Structure formats: structure tokens, C-alpha cells
């Protein structure tokens, strides 16, 4: 009786906590399409105010087209990602330069395992391990490339470059606003893959098939996440938190529509199935495994792959209702600060997530607690001399391009990176000079315009 009521109290307490701690400002997707927070300007400091979605009828995304709250739109002006772009954005007042929408830098919206956007001058490189380039690069492809080489970190840059490493020197490579890592991945234009001189860095455990977790809380993703999980996957993860009385699981993303694919939670000691989910039986509430050792199992058959799942776990420790590793997410939401440009963004950043697991915890914490430098105001006024300088630069670039191309043809140079990727990453297509010289930001810029007509027609981006 006592133990039963204690357990009931614990679960009730956890549900209460999770319902408040699993805040709408957190993101578990790579591009923040699940962001439902209240930031209503493009940056917390010096950002542009967002327009209300019910007042943007001249644009493709508005409440007339999505009247029932679809994709998070409504009679508000919060940043959203309704079109599967690489991050939350919003419409802004038209500018002379034709800009009518902008990405939002939302510090709280970063999926666990995404350590942030960092500068990369290349001298020295931010991540110094193996690297490859590919015009089919995706986040998962790069992570998998680095994971197979036993690196802890994987970084994507400029949409087509992948770098691996184990250490991140913050004194050399400062963190940048997320909006500076807004280039599309060439292999999946809904994913962000860094920027010009900007590298987005991930923990290589994201999307792995299995792993061992011992920290009091964390997030596990389906294999190959954020890509679709592959066919014929059989994966086990162990979650063992010594001293815990229960481990509670909360599915924040569950896209497993196939009834033949399934996710199971098992008692780690008895191998008893505590809960089983599939396409016909998606998870509803928090799942409680009343032991300190749980196993997560995933199986997919040969057909009908999908996006997969993200599951948050939290270990429960004492009968007093206190939690192991108290989450910090329930800091004040950013709505108050979002409307106040002068407020400090640090608290929001600290509230991002506690992605702290074993060997990477120190590194991750360092990354998470760096204060994001706020973007300065840009492209407001362009002096006349800049036009001449740009023209000269353009000419030089054209000359350099032609020269490089001719050299390439004549010498059949081996200077371009070669791919030695294993079969999962084996598309040897990056040696064409135009891939290197093409600026993916151009794709990103025109993407939303094209969307309003007939979709993304960029020949460079995979469909």
C-alpha cells in the first residue's frame, strides 16, 4: 500500500513536472518545426518585429490558408517554421532590398545533440578530424560518417562539407547565432548544414542504432535521425541510472506510421515488455518503468520508413519526489524577453536543454553555456564604394572560376577532396568545381519565393 501510493505520488509529480518542463519553446526536430514558443522578433536583441500570421494574406503562409492552427500558425506573430525550412522564421515589413521574411534566432530552440553553430575560419579548422564533401550531404550522413570513424563530434558546413572531431576549442572558435547556420543540406533542403564560415556541430550519438545511457536525463532518437529510419533496423538502447526508483519516458516526436515497425520499453532486469508502440498504437502519456534499468528497443521491417521518434527520459530518485538531475527547462519562457529587446538572452540559452551524458557532458555543457553573441544589424545601408568593390570582386571571382575550371580540365587535378566514405556515404559526386564554388545561400534565399509558386526547383537540392 505504502509503496503503491508512493509510486503513484511520484508518477503524479513527474507528470506535473513534465507537463510544465516539456515546454513549447523546446525543439526536438533539427529545423525547429516543432517550435511553439512565443519569440516574436527575429532576434532577442536588435531583431526585427514579426508580422502577425493573420495579417500576411499577401504571402503563402497565413491563417486564411491554415485556419485551424495547422503548422503552429494562428492570430499571433511568433516565429514558426510552417514550410519545412531550415529554422523558424517570420514575415517582416518589406524592406527596400526586397527582404520580406527573416530567420529567427531562437536560443531555446535547439534539438538535444545539436551543440550549436560555430565559427570556422579553416585556420585552424574547427574540427580537425576526417572530412568529406558531398552534394548529397545530410545531417545524419555526416554524423554517421564521423561515428563510423569513432569521432564524438560531427560538423556540417556550407551545405556540402562534413568535418569530424573530438574537441572544440572555444577560445578559437566562438559560437554564432543559429541564423548564421542556415544553409540547406544539399541532400535534404529541410535540414540546416552550417553556413559560410559557420559550422553546425552535433553529438555523433544522435541517430545511432543503440547506445548506453547512464545520466539522470537525456533524449534518444530513432536510428538515422533526423533522416528517416532505414529498413530492417533492430536497435537496443540501455538506460541505467543507479539509485533511481523509476525511469519515465516521454515521446516528444513519434512518427512511426507502419504497424509492422515498433518501439518497445522493457524492464532491463526481467526483459518484460512494459509498453509497445507502433503505427496503430502510438504513445499517449508518459511511460513509467519502475526500475533503475530500462531497455528501449526499435524494430523496422523492410518497407515504409518514416521519420521515427524522439524520446526524453528522466530518472526518478527519492520518495520525496525530488528528481535526479533536475531539468532546467522550466526557467521562465522567453515570451517576456522576446518582447523586450534589452533583456539578456543568457537565461534562455541556459534553459535550452541539459544534454549531459558521460564523456561528452563537460564539452556539451561548455558549449551550451557560452553566451550567444547577438547578431548585429546588417544590410541596412550600402555606401557607394561598396558597389564598385562588389563589382571588382565579382569580376575577380569570374576570372578565378574560369581559371580554376581550365586548370581542372587541363591538369585533371586531384586537389579536390576525394571521398572514401563507406557505402552509407559513398556518393562520389563532389569533385566538380561548380559544387565548391556554388553558394548554397543563394538556394536558401530563393527557396521561399519558389515555394509560393511551384515548389523548390533548385537543381542542386535533392528531392
- Contacts to Ca ion by CB under 5 A: 258, 261, 300-301, 304
Taking the complex as a whole, the smallest distance from the CB of residue 148 to Ca ion amounts, in Å, to: 24
Taking the complex as a whole, the smallest distance from the CB of residue 204 to Ca ion amounts, in Å, to: 25
Number of H helices, E strands in the chain: 8, 19
> Which residue, 318, 372, 338, 455, is CA-closest to 7?
318
Taking the complex as a whole, the smallest distance from the CB of residue 229 to Ca ion amounts, in Å, to: 8
Q: Which residue lies nearer to Ca ion by CB, 202 or 251? A: 251
Taking the complex as a whole, the smallest distance from the CB of residue 308 to Ca ion amounts, in Å, to: 11
Enumerate the β-bridge partners of residue 116: 201
Helix (H) or strand (E) holding 133: strand 131-133
Q: Are 62 and 34 in contact (CB under 8 A)?
A: no
Q: Which residue lies nearer to Ca ion by CB, 276 or 449? A: 276
> Which residue, 235, 245, 205, 252, is CA-closest to 358?
205
The conformation of residue 279, written as its DSSP 8-state character, comes to T
Q: Which residue is nearest to Ca ion (CB)?
A: 258
Q: Which residue lies nearer to Ca ion by CB, 255 or 301? A: 301
Q: Which residue lies nearer to Ca ion by CB, 255 or 258? A: 258
Cα(451)–Cα(139) distance, rounded to whole angstroms? 23
Enumerate the β-bridge partners of residue 249: 287, 313
Helix (H) or strand (E) holding 174: none
Q: Cβ–Cβ contacts within 10 Å for residue 366, how many? A: 12
Q: Which residue lies nearer to Ca ion by CB, 257 or 341? A: 257
Taking the complex as a whole, the smallest distance from the CB of residue 272 to Ca ion amounts, in Å, to: 25
Q: Which residue lies nearer to Ca ion by CB, 304 or 427? A: 304
Taking the complex as a whole, the smallest distance from the CB of residue 110 to Ca ion amounts, in Å, to: 29
Task: Show Cβ contacts of residue 71 under 8 Å, excluding neighbours closer than 6 positions.
Answer: 33, 61, 80, 81, 82, 83
Residue 7 grid coordinates: 509510486
Enumerate the β-bridge partners of residue 217: 314
Taking the complex as a whole, the smallest distance from the CB of residue 300 to Ca ion amounts, in Å, to: 5
Q: Which residue lies nearer to Ca ion by CB, 198 or 228? A: 228
Rg (Cα) of the chain, in Å, rounded? 23
Residue 310 grid coordinates: 524522439
Q: Which residue lies nearer to Ca ion by CB, 209 or 429? A: 209
Could you give the angle at the alpha carbon of 368 between the alpha carbons of 123 and 241, nearest 5°?
125
Taking the complex as a whole, the smallest distance from the CB of residue 278 to Ca ion amounts, in Å, to: 9
Taking the complex as a whole, the smallest distance from the CB of residue 62 to Ca ion amounts, in Å, to: 36
Q: Which residue lies nearer to Ca ion by CB, 300 or 337? A: 300
C-alpha distances out from residue 452 to 60, 74, 143, 447, Å: 6, 19, 32, 9
Task: Show Cβ contacts of residue 399 under 8 Å, excluding neighbours closer than 6 positions.
Answer: none
Enumerate the β-bridge partners of residue 201: 116, 155
Amino acid at each position: 500500500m505504502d509503496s503503491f501510493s508512493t509510486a503513484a505520488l511520484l508518477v503524479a509529480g513527474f507528470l506535473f513536472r513534465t507537463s510544465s518542463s516539456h515546454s513549447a519553446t523546446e525543439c526536438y526536430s533539427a529545423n525547429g518545426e516543432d517550435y511553439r514558443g512565443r519569440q516574436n522578433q527575429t532576434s532577442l536583441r536588435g531583431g526585427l518585429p514579426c508580422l502577425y500570421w493573420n495579417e500576411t494574406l499577401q504571402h503563402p503562409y497565413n491563417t486564411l490558408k491554415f485556419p485551424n492552427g495547422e503548422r503552429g500558425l494562428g492570430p499571433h506573430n511568433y516565429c514558426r517554421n510552417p514550410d519545412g525550412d531550415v529554422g523558424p522564421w517570420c514575415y517582416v515589413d518589406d524592406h527596400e532590398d526586397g527582404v520580406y521574411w527573416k530567420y529567427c534566432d531562437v536560443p531555446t530552440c535547439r534539438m538535444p545533440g545539436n551543440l550549436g553553430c560555430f565559427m570556422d575560419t579553416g585556420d585552424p579548422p574547427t574540427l580537425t578530424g576526417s572530412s568529406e564533401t558531398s552534394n548529397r550531404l545530410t545531417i545524419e550522413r555526416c554524423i554517421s560518417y564521423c561515428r563510423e570513424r569513432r569521432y564524438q563530434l560531427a560538423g556540417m558546413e556550407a551545405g556540402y562539407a562534413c568535418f569530424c572531431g573530438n574537441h572544440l576549442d572555444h577560445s578559437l572558435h566562438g559560437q554564432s547565432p543559429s541564423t548564421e547556420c542556415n544553409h540547406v543540406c544539399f541532400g535534404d533542403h529541410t535540414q540546416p548544414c552550417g553556413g559560410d564560415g559557420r559550422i553546425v556541430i552535433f553529438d555523433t550519438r544522435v541517430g545511432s542504432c543503440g547506445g548506453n545511457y547512464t545520466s539522470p536525463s537525456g533524449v534518444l532518437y530513432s536510428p538515422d535521425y533526423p533522416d528517416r529510419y532505414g529498413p530492417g533496423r533492430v536497435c537496443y538502447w540501455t538506460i541505467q541510472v543507479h539509485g533511481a526508483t523509476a525511469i519515465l519516458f516521454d515521446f516528444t516526436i513519434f512518427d512511426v506510421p507502419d504497424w509492422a515497425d515498433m518501439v518497445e520499453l522493457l524492464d532491463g532486469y526481467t526483459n518484460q515488455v512494459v509498453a509497445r508502440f507502433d503505427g496503430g498504437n502510438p504513445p499517449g502519456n508518459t511511460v513509467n518503468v519502475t526500475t533503475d534499468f530500462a531497455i528501449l528497443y526499435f524494430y523496422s521491417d523492410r518497407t515504409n520508413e518514416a521519420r521515427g521518434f524522439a524520446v526524453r527520459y528522466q530518472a526518478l530518485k527519492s520518495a520525496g519526489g525530488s528528481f535526479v538531475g533536475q531539468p532546467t527547462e522550466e526557467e521562465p519562457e522567453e515570451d517576456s524577453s522576446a518582447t523586450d529587446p534589452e533583456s539578456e538572452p543568457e537565461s534562455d540559452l541556459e534553459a535550452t536543454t541539459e544534454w549531459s551524458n558521460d564523456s561528452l557532458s563537460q564539452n556539451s555543457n561548455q558549449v551550451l553555456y557560452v553566451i550567444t553573441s547577438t547578431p548585429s544589424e546588417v544590410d541596412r545601408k550600402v555606401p557607394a564604394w561598396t558597389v564598385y568593390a562588389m563589382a571588382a570582386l565579382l569580376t575577380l571571382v569570374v576570372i578565378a572560376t574560369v581559371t580554376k575550371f581550365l586548370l581542372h580540365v587541363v591538369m585533371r587535378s586531384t586537389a579536390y577532396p576525394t571521398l572514401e566514405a563507406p557505402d552509407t556515404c559513398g556518393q562520389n559526386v563532389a569533385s566538380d568545381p561548380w559544387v565548391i564554388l556554388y553558394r548554397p545561400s543563394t538556394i536558401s534565399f530563393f527557396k521561399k519565393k519558389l515555394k509560393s509558386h511551384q515548389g523548390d526547383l533548385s537543381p542542386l537540392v535533392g528531392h
